[in-house]
Chains A and B, each alone.
Chain A
Amino acid sequence: NAGVTQTPKFRVLKTGQSMTLLCAQDMNHEYMYWYRQDPGMGLRLIHYSVGEGTTAKGEVPDGYNVSRLKKQNFLLGLESAAPSQTSVYFCASSLQGAVGANVLTFGAGSRLTVL
Chain B
Amino acid sequence: KNEVEQSPQNLTAQEGEFITINCSYSVGISALHWLQQHPGGGIVSLFMLSSGKKKHGRLIATINIQEKHSSLHITASHPRDSAVYICAVRHEKLTFGTGTRLTIIP
Taking a contact as CB atoms closer than 8 A, the residue among A88, A90, A101, A109 that contacts B48 in the complex is A101
Binds B, one of A14-22, A39-47, A60-68, A71-79: A39-47
Tell me the nearest residue of chain A to B49, going by C-beta.
A101
Consensus secondary structure, chain A interface: loop
Binds A, one of B57-65, B71-79, B94-102: B94-102
In the complex the two chains form, is A101's CB within 8 Å of B30's CB? yes
Tell me the nearest residue of chain B to A58, going by C-beta.
B93
- Which bucket holds chain A's interface residue count? 20 to 34
Taking a contact as CB atoms closer than 8 A, the residue among B30, B44, B98 that contacts A42 in the complex is B98
| 0/1 string, B25-56, CB within 8 A of A gives 1 | 00000110101000011111100101000000
Give the docked Cα–Cα distance between A40 and B48 (Å): 23
Offer 6 A-B interface pairs, CB within 8 angstroms, sorted by A: A43-B88, A43-B96, A90-B43, A92-B43, A98-B94, A103-B45
Seen from chain B, the residues whose Cβ lies within 8 Å of a Cβ on chain A are 2, 4, 30-31, 33, 35, 40-45, 48, 50, 86, 88, 90-99
Seen from chain A, the residues whose Cβ lies within 8 Å of a Cβ on chain B are 40-45, 58-59, 88, 90, 92, 98-99, 101-106, 108-109, 111
